[in-house]
Structure 1
Amino acid sequence: MAGLYIHIPFCKQACSYCDFYFVTRKSLIEPFTDSLIDEIQSYANTPLSDEVIETIYIGGGTPSQLSSKQLKRIFDAVDNVFQLNTTEVTMEMNPDDVTPGYLHSLLDLGVNRASMGVQSFDEEILQFMHRAHTKKEALQALENLHKAGFPTYTADLIYGNPGQTPEMLERDIDQLLQFDPPHISAYSLTVEPQTRLGKQVQLGRIKPPEDESVAEHFDLLLEKLSSAGIYQYEVSNFSKPGKEAVHNSNYWNHKNYLGLGPAAHSFWWTEDGAKRWENQPDIKHYLDRASSISDEPEELSLQTLAEERLMLGLRTKWGVGSGELINRYGYQFNESQKNWLDYQERNGMLTITDDVVRLTPNGLKLADLLIVDLLSKG
């Protein structure tokens, strides 16, 4: 089974923290839709259209900037080219775009999982983030999701904002939990250099919170969500049992996926490894369909793939099995790594059960540091 990722690069405005590829010229949406359909059709009768598609994820940007008519054209093209047996079709959306009629049209198209970009219910934080929606619109959007009868959905929260107290975060969490969400993605605010936030930090106009404060936010989040039956299954993702994101889990498990649209990435297994390629992050280039839209594929060796699988898998509750590493990648832990794993197990950072290495809750807090340390001993 494989997945499709479709990147819709349009946004109303630039959020202060975002470094994803996006454009704000709505006049380009219709020609973009034409180009996207052309790209989809270019895969007809190729090896990449032979594999059954299990999941579709429509991300961005803000996919809800597209009309239901434009989305239907895209879905029809996908249906004509690819073999679909989808269990999960996710679409990102912003609260200010969502109306009951629009949500029902998405359900009619086959979208069965919404990803709602709430981020916060605090008006000052929303303004700091330069979000386009208000608290009222976020609450109304979540209410509309319930009334429309979406089978499942996820909502995003961002914590660790400058000036955000634990009490402010607790209010955000409590407000969201009133809707009994099946899934929450919660991210610590990251300062990316080329963003508005990054430039303000560089100029000394904004001071990010201390690590201890961010850690306090995370502990509060973990406690509140677990008490509500929403459990951490990946560093930034929490769900009720059985409501974990299938598409994202496929990324972490190195399943094939094809990316469509500007800046979209693809990953595909080959006979002796895998290859990864990226569509160029350039809307003008994408609209000029006379030239190639993707860069040359990067060839990935089994060694590189094994290390990547460790990086991705150890960030999840499922961990990584040594048997999988050997059978799939020909990778084995050396003596130095085995000694490190034994030490970290005694230190309470990980467990090893039936040859599967899993980070403990304490280990997941330091996942990136621990994983880099493990790989450095390889």
Structure 2
Amino acid sequence: MGMVGGGIGAFIGAVHRMAAVLDGQIELVCGAFSSNPEKSKASGAELYLPEDRVYGSFEEMIQKEKELPEGERMDFVSIVTPNHLHVPPAKMALENGFSVICDKPLAYNLKEAKELKEIVDKSGLTFALTHNYTGYPMVKEGRDMIKSGKLGKIRKVVVEYPQGWLSTLQENSDNKQASWRVDPKKAGISSAMGDIGTHAENLAEFMTGLKISELCADLTAFGEGRQLDTDGNILLRFDNGARGVLHASQISAGEENNLKIFVYGEKGGLEWHQMEPNSLIVRMLDLPMQVYRTGADRAYLGKSAMAHTRIPAGHPEGYLEAFANIYRNFAMTLRARMEGKEPDPQYLDFPTVDDGIRGMAFIENAVASSKSDEKWYKFTI
């Protein structure tokens, strides 16, 4: 793996590196860790990389790695930069024969995202997007329950992602994570919806298998001087007729990363909380509430949940393991394709460029709806 971004002081870069190496399938061999060459070199030294495999720019990294013999050069690129710097390295990597795994959202805007999809499709290479919450075993168990019809036709979906970390003007301090997320030049047209609302949208569509068809959004930029939304409330309509509510906020004071989802069908419902990820609550009509628990020894769980669980019940798996499931699946898929084999369908279970397109469309439709006088805004891509 070669990495773009994720240098000294970057939160998400460290998360990607930990997730990538968890299953022993991936090795970090090179990187362009900062747009500042000196900082990139310093970051590479901290990671014990050879000096000649630490680059001052992603352009230099891709070009020089391409010149190395097969078996020595990197096999793929991991992109962990702010939103506005996702597409340029992804585009160059794909055009030079390297597969890509990229942090979300996919791009700076929908136009960029569509252009990137064309490049991915033309290249025939493997592309993954780290909507990491889809990696949780109990999220996959819930998805499979819904797909099998256990809950009946889905009628209602409620998904929430409240955080409180931007309740104060963190961007005015030395908080790099806050400063770029509220900057339209780097984050795009949205902060809350772009950063965490897309996770909620992706989780709702991933678990239910439904697509948002219309929405009615109310977005607000709480915080003096802020231009981008830090809070949003959205009514949803899905393509099967189901109704939904999506709430994402960075100013819900006291909240941590409290992503949760409730799905209700004709026969029953389920509930999952990211802050208690090893449990899936299932409620069926005329039956007591059940709590499904993750664990590699849980014979009652489905094939997908079991395939994405590493340890026995009672040993909690969390955020890093879910993130690692995406990296592992990507790696196993890439390995199979490099060997000229068909990937195991279980390892194809990771978000793709198409999920990224829907995420970018969600952001733009939500912002447009919030500005519109129309109650319902047709979801378009």
TM-score range, shorter chain: 0.3 to 0.5
**Structure showing greater relative contact order (alpha-carbon pairs closer than 8 Å, 6 or more residues apart):** 2
- TM-score scaled by structure 2? 0.32
